[in-house]
Amino acid sequence: MSAPGGSMREQPGHDGAALVRVTISGTTAEVALDNGPLNLMTKPMLRALNDAFGRLAANADLRCMILHGGSARVFCAGSDIKELPVLGKDASEQKILIEDHMLRRLARLPMPTIAAIDATVLGGGLELALACDLRVVKRGISIGLPENNLGGLAGSGSVRITRLIGPSRAKELLFLGEPIAAETALAWGLVNRVVDGSALDAARAMAAKIGARAPLSNRLAKELVDASQDLPLDAGLTLSTLSQQKVFDSADMQEGVAAFFGKRAPTFTGR
């Protein structure tokens, strides 16, 4: 359950480790990375994130989740290079599948999610942000997928970034391995907003607006948008019909209509 009345409550990370800090204020959860100055995506960090996202997925009261880099110098610099030489042929078992499971769990969270990026985001860090629904970045930061500089590959990042910005620009980022400016990322559709101040503050303001809207509608909208990338048109439209019926059956829609005619702000419950 979320903390009442806008109060902040912190939940422990995986096995009590302080690699990920989860706080809940009202109907918004914040997940802060806390793995040193670079927030490296070590195996313990991957497991801590997976655990955190699993707990948040089960919280029906949440209306938005913000992911940010905490007090680190960067949002997330990606994999810990020191781990790479020892993985070898066991990489899928030891890391790739763990990371893939975590990113899928993040992408499938039922509530809207926002990555608040106040510092450089590279490699696996960008793949983490790409698994969120929205990305808010601070002006002047660098964004990139430089894995090929080390002979590596942005696996899930290659797929998710292509769906956002198209194959030509995705290939430019992947082939060159060079970071781009936040303003370029905005023009390409890679990020949603570039702000002059704190990206976290801007994400919190966005989350407050999202939280004031009908949560059932937002969850169903997320489901439809995500499904539209995989389903044939007719199947997607069938799903939209079923989703609309759920909305018409909901108490939230009745409340929204009543509030409109009563000239007051609606109080949505997600039911």
pLDDT digits (tens, 9 = 90+) for 219-235: 999 999 999 988 999 99
Which one-letter amino acid corresponds to residue 121?
Answer: V
Give me the CATH code for the 215-261 domain, please. 1.10.12
Q: Which of 91, 83, 87 is nearest to 45 (CA)?
A: 83
C-alpha distance from residue 57 to each of 1, 112, 163 (Å):
12, 11, 24
| Cβ 38 vs Cβ 75: under 8 Å | no
126: which 2 tokens?
A: 């960008």
Q: How far is CA 5 from CA 8, 25, 165, in A?
A: 9, 8, 39
38-90 residue pLDDT tens:
998 888 999 999 999 999 999 999 999 999 999 999 999 887 666 665 655 66
Which of 56, 13, 64, 7 minimizes the C-alpha distance to 35? Answer: 13
Known catalytic residue: 178?
no
Q: Which of 202, 41, 78 is nearest to 137 (CA)?
A: 202
Indicate which residue of 127, 172, 183, 255 is catalytic: 127
- Mean pLDDT of all residues in 230-241: 93
State the pLDDT at residue 78.
81
CB burial readout 178-191, b (16+ within 10 A) else e:
ebbebeebbebebb
| Residues sharing a CB contact under 8 Å with residue 59, sequence separation 6 or more, in sequence order | 1, 2, 24, 29
223 is catalytic: no
pTM: 0.90
Domain 4-212: give its CATH architecture.
Alpha-Beta Complex (3.90)
Same CATH fold assignment for domains 4-212 and 215-261: no
Of the candidate ranges 16-20, 181-185, 211-215, the one whose mean pLDDT is the lowest:
16-20
Domain ranges of the chain: 4-212, 215-261
**Which of 175, 122, 127 has its CA nearest to residue 148?**
175
Burial 27-47 (b: 16+ CB within 10 A, else e): bbbbbbbbbeebbbbbebbbb
Of the candidates 10, 147, 178, 255, the residue annotated as catalytic is 147
Per residue in 5-30, pLDDT tens? Answer: 344 455 544 434 579 999 999 999 99
In 3D space, the residue among 97, 9, 107 whose CA is nearest the CA of residue 57 turns out to be 107
139-165 mean pLDDT:
91
Phi first, then psi, for residue 156 (nearest 5°) are: -65, -30
| 3-state SS class at 19 | coil
Compute the chain's Rg from CA coordinates.
19
Q: What is the DSSP string of 212-254?
A: HS-HHHHHHHHHHHHHHTTS-HHHHHHHHHHHHHHHHTSHHHH
CA distances from 116 to 76, 158, 164, 192, 263 (A): 11, 21, 18, 11, 34
Q: Which residues contact 134 (CB under 8 A, 6 or more apart)?
A: 112, 113, 114, 115, 192, 206
pLDDT digits (tens, 9 = 90+) for 127-148: 999 999 999 999 999 999 998 8
d(CA 187, CA 168): 14
C-alpha distances out from residue 220 to 40, 109, 214, 227, Å: 33, 12, 10, 10
